Chain A
Amino acid sequence: MAKQSTSLRTYALTRLGLALPMVLLLLTLVFILMRVAPGDPISAALGGRLPAEELARRRAAAGYDRSLVVQYFDYLGDVARGDFGQTISDNRSVTGLIVQNGAATLELTLVAMLIAVGVGTLVGLVSGRLRDTPADAAGRLFGIVIYAAPIFFLGFLAQLVFGKWLGLLPTSGRASPVVVFTMDSPTNLFIVDALIGGDMEALGDVLRHLVMPATTLGLVIGGVFIRLVRVNVLQTLQGDYVEAARARGVRERHVVFRHAFKNALVPVITVMGLQFALLLSGAILTEQTFNWPGLGSELVRYLDNRDYIAVQGIITFVALVVVVVSMLIDLINAWVDPRVRYA
């Protein structure tokens, strides 16, 4: 027992050591990307709207007249201190923006991931168990077509059918204006806020707003899980231990559920982590389609305003999250599957 825990700790430390250069690299990439753009952030956002002297004064105040090397280390220092700067266009703190709008994105993506895993495993298991039957063909086709559908197209169809024609669900925003203004939101996660406040009406409103965006995003990501789970079921059903279980006279139901399905689901954890980048990309589109006030829609808005500081802050944050998530997934994997640790 003791030996096992040390090896997990060693693995965690090694993995952490590997994450640091990755962070540095990503930050450098972000910095280079944002400095490739013509001009400095101040002139890009405010050029033409201010007299030249005022522009120069502001540039100097923000430190954009210094050398790139100095600016680079300045940037690294700011990030290390958790300071992502102030937006130019509306003078918000980027950190505050990340907390507020990031919570909206977090709520959306978490629920979407649940839906993706749920739909993906269900369809994948059925499809894999009933290989080469019409059910399997339907499952595979669904997986391919859903992956081929752009999120915003599914969103358009959902808004048309469930929003307009059936009039069942709201098509935009996180909650009705009344709820947004009256509800206390200490966490910015509206579901949690409504539960804390014990306001069931608000909870219903929030959930109704969440259904379409989360399902749209979840279904598209779910396509990946369908394929994965199906292939895994096919493989595990051919495994020696499944054959052995059958030979021992274990009931078929038991063989399928306990022996095959359980093992087929292990890689889902890893793939959940791998889908993280896809999930964030999808969130940008979902937010834009459903007017969801998350980080993605803010990013697009700040890009339109040429607010490089806000853009740089948001992508820096995303870069950090990417590294942390990939590290967490590796650690979970090492914990679940001891073979990873010894590799």
Chain B
Amino acid sequence: MRTLRRPTHRAAPGAVGRRGAAGLGRLFGPVRDARGMAKWVLWIGLGITVLFIVLAVFAPLVAPYDFDQYRNAEGIRFGKQAPPSAAHLFGTNVLSTDVLSRVIFGSRTALTVVVIAVVFALAVGLPLGLISGYFGHKLDRVLVLVMDALFAFPYLLLAIVIAFLLSETIGRGVMSAAVAIAVVYIPQYFRVVRNHVISVREEPYVEAARALGARPRTIIVRYVLFNVIQTVPVIATLNAADAILTLAALGFLGYGIQPTDAAEWGYDIQRAIADAGSGIWWTGLWPGVAIVLLVTGLTLLGEGLNDVLNPVLRRRRIERVDLPSREARVLEPGGEA
């Protein structure tokens, strides 16, 4: 099994297809072998995440109303802050829109923004980490200093200020929210990738490639990247979970997506805070539950992947060993022990 899973750096040049298959095998083989708690964590996380992806994709079909619809087909206005009923399972909010529909459309907003943000962060953090870790020297020092500074800064403050500045220039949309969130996570990818590259850089097979005269580009892409990239699914999933929270926080503070453009959970909770004083629970509860569920789902998925992919943490089923009890051994001095 082990030899089957390690061929990436030994693959013949040009065997791209084989290398891709090995990469997938690397991911799915251990998932199949997973046992115990890790397996449950992984599957529950996957289940919740898939549920939200389905809701996001089919939102217009699943949701009873549009996210900004405040009157029915006959033009009669929905009740304002109406409690849950047959027509509005989760009730309506202060703008007379249907809470259930907003929760469902909110998953679309959340997943879209987060996917774009993670891709952005990865697209910047990964290459910078590779270059910084591989070449080292002055460039590395400067980059590390800048990234450390960004990392030490309260992430929400950074995100708010960037979201604010972007809203002044390109407007408050999915893109500006995604960029503001991405900036927060770039240092994390950079750090993980850089540190991993530094340890991989000294491996004998990289040295061998260098001795054979391979160009830095070739070494980085073919030998270093494929070893480093394994850590990416885990970090990306965990970051996505965190990014959902950051997006909601931006929305809550009024620096997320323009409320007329899309339904967003954080914004809905901000509107609901005032409702708490009047005992109106349904406007804030459901968007909050949606956030908690999706973040928990993504976290479990990430943790499960980590447990399964990380050989150090991997726990396989252990066979029970029955040793003879101490009394038994004492009573039988002539025994084989």
Contact = CB atoms under 8 A, between A and B. Distances in A.
Interface stretch (A95-103, A157-165, A244-252): A157-165
Given A145-B296, A152-B269, A171-B277, A21 B168 contact: no
Interface of B: 37, 145-146, 148-157, 160-162, 164-165, 168-169, 241, 245, 248-249, 252-255, 266, 269-270, 272-273, 276-279, 281, 284-285, 287-288, 291-292, 295-296, 299-300, 303
Contact of B157 (A37, A163, A299, A304): A299
A37 to B, nearest CB: 5
B291 A284 contact: no
Contacts of A163: 276-277
A318 to B, nearest CB: 6
A208 B154 CA distance: 28
Interface string A234-245: 000000000000
B157 A285 contact: no
A150 B245 contact: yes
Given A155-B273, A159-B277, A285-B249, 8 more contacts: A22-B148, A37-B168, A132-B37, A148-B299, A150-B248, A152-B266, A160-B281, A300-B253
Interface in A141-172: 144-145, 147-150, 152-153, 155-157, 159-160, 163-165, 171
Contacts, number: 141
A150 B296 contact: no
Contacts of B287: 153
B272 to A, nearest CB: 6
A113 B98 CA distance: 38
Contacts of A285: 156, 249, 252-253
Q: How large is the interface on A (under 10, 10 to 19, 20 to 34, 35 or more residues)?
A: 35 or more
Given A164-B279, A280-B154, A150 B145 contact: no
Contacts of A38: 168-169
B165 A33 contact: yes
A279 B58 CA distance: 37
Contacts of A121: none
Nearest to A156: B284
B268 to A, nearest CB: 10
Interface in A228-271: none
B252 A288 contact: yes
21 contacts: A22-B148, A25-B146, A29-B149, A29-B150, A33-B161, A37-B165, A144-B299, A145-B292, A148-B299, A150-B245, A152-B252, A152-B273, A153-B291, A155-B273, A156-B273, A156-B284, A159-B276, A160-B279, A285-B156, A289-B273, A303-B255
